[in-house]
Structure formats: C-alpha cells, structure tokens
Chains A and B, each alone.
Chain A
Amino acid sequence: MSTLVKPGTRYKSTVCDTEVIIVKPASAAIDLRCGGHPVVQVGEEAPAGLTLDPAFSAGTPLGKRFADPESGLELLATKAGAGSLSIGDVPLPLKDAKPLPSSD
C-alpha cells in the first residue's frame, strides 16, 4: 500500500519506464500499481524479478492526467511506459478535462 499523501511525490513502475507525479493526493491510503505491480517512490530500489502483467499492458502515455473519482487521487504521467496504471485491480481512468482556449 502506498500512502500518496503529498502533491509533488513521484512514483515509478517496477516493470516498465512509467513515472508519475501526484497532483492531488488520495483521501486515504491506496494501492497504486503500474503493469500489475505496486509502484515505488522515485529514488527507491525496485524489487527485482517482477514482470509486466499482460492484463495491465495497455501502456501509459506521456503527459496524460489520471483521476480516481473515489479517492480524489490525481496524477500526471511524466514518463511513458508499457504498463498501465491501476488501483488494485481497477484500471485508473484518464481525467476528463475540457480543453481551455489558449490564453498565452
């Protein structure tokens, strides 16, 4: 279980190149996974010998935002990877955001 308390905390997949950053923290501890396995904080040692679970191999595209309506968790993919994100076994959906007109 990851606690995911602080915005700006960075996590990485243990089975692919995916990296994410927390934009809004979850209201309670949740089990964030990528490629079927729990993520670890960037800078921490990843457990060896894990492999990508084919059920979670749709991929995580760079720059997409994800949001879990249940826990309030929001994150941004800062590196793309072959694994896809989930909370436990439930895939994490993309954040539904309407495009804004360009103002810069």
Chain B
Amino acid sequence: MHLGMLLEMAADGLADRVALGPLAGGLTFAELGHQARRAGAALAAMPGDRVGLIDLNSPAVPLTLFGSALAGKPFVPINYRLADEQLRAIVARTAPATIVVGAGVAERLGDIDGIHLVTRDELLALAADSEAKEADGWGGDPEDIAVLLFTSGTTGEPKAAVLRHRNLTEYVITTVEFAGAADDEVGIVSVPPYHIAGVSASCSATYSGRRTVQLESFEPRAWVDLVRAESVTHAMVVPTMLGRILDVVEADGLGLPSLRSISYGGGPMPVPVIERAVTMLPHVGFVNAYGLTETSSTIAVLGPDDHQAAIGSTDPEVRARLGSVGRPLPSLEVTIRDPAGVEVPTGERGEIWVRGGQVSGEYLGIGRIENDGWFPTRDEGHLDAGGYLFVHGRLDDVIVRGGENMSPGEIEAVLITHPAVEEAAVVGIPHREWGEQVVAAVVASGEVTEEELRSHVRAQLRSSRTPEHIQFRSELPFNENGKLLRRVLRSELENAFT
C-alpha cells in the first residue's frame, strides 16, 4: 500500500468533489490528482534522493507530500521556526535533496552542498501547467520511506523518524472510511506541515473525501474567521490553541455554529480547558486523540460519547475518563510494562508499549528496536478496567525523590485546579539529600502566595509531592506546537533554587 494509492482512489472515486480551498474555485480531487502527478514528474527529475519542504501551509504542502510519493522520494517537511544555524544543520542532514521553500527561506539557507531549492510558487506553477508531464502509477513499493520527520528535540539532538508507505496507509485505511465524509464536510488545517498531524490531515482528508481549507499558520482570530467564512465542520487543535480560540469566541459572542467536531492532541489537555470548551460549544463533538510521530499519528481516541458519559457520570472511575485518551484503536495492541519489559496488572502505571501496522518505531541511521514488533513509547501510562488509556507524561521526566517515583503531570494537574493558576509546570532538580527535589513554575491569573499553593497540593497529594519551591513567572517556555520545553525550564529552575 502506498500514498500514491490513496491519491489515485480519491482522484478516481471522488473526482468532482472539491478537495482543497474554497467551494467555488477550489481544487477538485481529480485536479489534485493531476497536479500531484505533475509535481511528481517534476520532483523525480530534480536533483537529490529526497524532497524537503520549509514553508507555511499552502496547496504546495499536499502537492509536495503526494508529489514526493509519486516521484518515489521521501518527503521531509522541516520546521521553518528553527534558528538559522539549526535549520542549516538539519537541511545538510537531508542532502542530497530538492527543497521546496517559502518566502525568505533561500536567504536563510545560503549555499549547502547537495541541496537544490525550488520555490513554492515555482512548484505551484509546474503543477498547474496542463502541458506538463504527469508521473504514472503509485510511485513505488510499500516498504519505501514515505516521510522523514525530525522529532522536536526538546530533550536532545533531533532524530529523524522514518514512516514507510505501509505505516501511513495502514493508519489511514484502518481509521478512515473511503469517501466516508458527507459532501458538506470541511476540515481546517492550522497545524504546521512538519508536524505528524499535518501529514495525517492531508492523507485522511484525501481518503475520506473531505474538503480542506488551510491557515498559513495558527493565529486564533484568523482561525475563528476562517471557520465562520468557510462553514468549517471539523478541526484538529493542540491544547494551547483551544484555550486561545475559546477566548476569541467568548469575547465576540458569535459562536462557531458550523463546527461539528474538534479533535485535540499533541500534549496533555488541562481538564478546566476541555470542560470550558464542552460548555461553550455544546453542539460540538470532542475527540481526544493520542499518538506519536513514530506511530503515524493517532493510536487511541476518546470520542464524543465518551466525553458525554464521563461528564454526566457520578461514578468516579467513569468521570476520571475525561482525563484519559480513550481506548486504543481496534487495529493495534497496547500494553503497559515495567522497566524490565514485563506487563503490569490493570490499573498499575508503567511504560506504554504499542504494536500494529501503523507503528514504525524506526529512526534514520539508528534503525528499529526489534521487540517482536512492539514499540516502547517512553510515555508513562495506565489502563483502567474498561480499557481506557491514561497518559501521565514522558518517562524521562519522572522525578525520583528519595527513591519515590513521581510524575510531574500528577502534581501539575492539582496545581492547575487552583483558581489563581493559569499554567503550571513541575520538574525535578538535583538535591544533595533526596537525589531530586520537586519544584514548580506557575503563571498566576490572580493573587496567590507560594505557601497557599503548597497547601493546596499537600491537601490532595502526599507531602513528598508538594513542591519545595515555586517560581512565579509571566510565561512558561513552550515550543511552537505547545510542547513544554522541560529541559529549558529545569535548567532555569536549577539556577534559581540551588
């Protein structure tokens, strides 16, 4: 199975539906097929073994994704927000390659060995030229590499995750029904192209036949305006986006009447934010999706019915599921294991392991750890008696204080329930006696003292989990996808408190 197959099926079976852009004047699936085949022929003829992309969202993103597949070359979307030096280093690792670049990128890159640049506008012009040659077939073998994604590197040197055609297509055909979208469905894409959610959005929308409108990059006012202007029905957001969208909607009071579904993922969603969203947008079905780059996106979902059941329940176990990521997809297996790799009983915490056709677990130049197909995610979690998966954070972030293991997420979840706390992050820093000590950074929205917050935590968790020190700040260090930069915060708090 191959991304070229998904495109061909949509171009054949959904030919006249609009795929991309406004209803009047947008690109139909048949045209998307032709344009991607022209991009494919052009990219095949350009220098290099890979096709990079350093740009905001535009029609060039799906055209380069599918064009690379048809050209038989891996697609490598790269983070345009990286500092120049890091960007050049990653581009050099991508060579030999042709890179599709947006405005201003060529100047930042300069000359790099083995790198050929083509601008977004040049690519779009080639694809739109009805005289141009079209690539035929699907473009290659299911074992070929479809996408290389550099991980965000919040904890070290970025690694390139390898997603093969069979991984991505297995994900799409087992989670999305072909042509399953109603013909009035419209999805908005505002996540960046170098995020796994950007890649899966293009693939799933094409296979389901859902029209896509794009925002160059996320900005809450522009997002709300585009949703209203295009009667958008489906959206995917990361947690930080949702809170900012709700602020805009609350301020203008005009609602988001066309929306039917919001899926969220990419990091832990604070329960107060999702409760506010469910209250403000009662007509919207919420979907919590949990996944990793290395698993071709989603591996567990908490659907709209699960959200309603949890919110409406008096059973504490059912109610707690609002903080879960739902149940694993039926097409894969999830287990929780101890550090020795042995499965733990239901309800106990351990490392989340996953196995299935969509799981790659492979990195360029490193390969794949063979565990009979199982991929250890480095995420800590547990399964409840109903099979719901709870994610507690990265295992590498676990704090070990005097031999006791504790998850920052558990302490953060308590801090955030204090009415004067807007954002909270907890890390461990070295301590002479305990090995590590618990410290917190808090963005406050009202008057509150350190001692009040410490008592608030102590009242709900044991005293060893109460932060030794709390730093009040105007903001926390996040990367552009809303992922907390724990390494940065840890070194800042270490400087402040030791």
A residues with a Cβ closer than 8 A to B are: 7-8, 21, 23, 62-65, 76, 78-80, 97-104
Contacts and interface: CB of A to CB of B under 8 A. Distances in A.
A103 B287 CA distance: 6
A76 B173 contact: yes
Nearest to A100: B175
Contacts of A97: 174, 177, 330
B335 interface: no
Interface in B187-227: 187, 197, 200-201, 203-205, 207-208
Contact of A23 (B1, B187, B207, B329): B1
B173 A23 contact: yes
A61 to B, nearest CB: 9
A47 to B, nearest CB: 24
B465 interface: no
A60 to B, nearest CB: 12
B475 interface: no
Given A62-B12, A65-B173, A78-B8, A101 B1 contact: no
Interface string B248-271: 000000000000010101000000
A25 to B, nearest CB: 12
A83 to B, nearest CB: 17
Interface residues of B, number: 42
Contact of A78 (B5, B197, B200): B5
9 contacts: A7-B142, A62-B9, A63-B179, A99-B177, A101-B301, A102-B176, A103-B289, A104-B176, A104-B263
Nearest to A99: B177
Interface of B: 1, 5, 8-9, 12-13, 141-142, 166, 170, 173-180, 187, 197, 200-201, 203-205, 207-208, 234, 236, 261, 263, 265, 285, 287, 289, 297-298, 301, 303-304, 329-330
B118 to A, nearest CB: 28
Nearest to B189: A104
B9 A103 contact: no
Q: Secondary structure of the A side of the interface?
A: loop
B12 A79 contact: yes
B261 A102 contact: yes
A103 B1 CA distance: 21
Q: Which of A97, A100, A101 has the most CB of B within 10 A?
A: A101
Contacts of A62: 9, 12-13, 178-179
Contacts of B177: 63, 97, 99
A104 B297 contact: yes
A8 B175 contact: no
Contacts of A8: 1, 141-142, 166
Contacts of A21: 1, 5
A104 B236 contact: yes
A104 B142 contact: no
Contact of B298 (A78, A80, A103): A103
Nearest to A98: B330
B306 to A, nearest CB: 9
Contacts of B8: 78
Nearest to A101: B303
A103 B325 CA distance: 12
Contact of A104 (B178, B204, B303, B329): B204
Contacts of B141: 8
A100 B329 contact: yes
Contacts of B1: 7-8, 21, 23, 76
B5 A80 contact: no
A78 B9 contact: yes
Given A23-B170, A97-B177, 15 more contacts: A8-B141, A21-B1, A23-B1, A63-B9, A63-B178, A63-B179, A78-B8, A80-B13, A101-B285, A101-B301, A102-B176, A102-B234, A102-B261, A104-B204, A104-B263
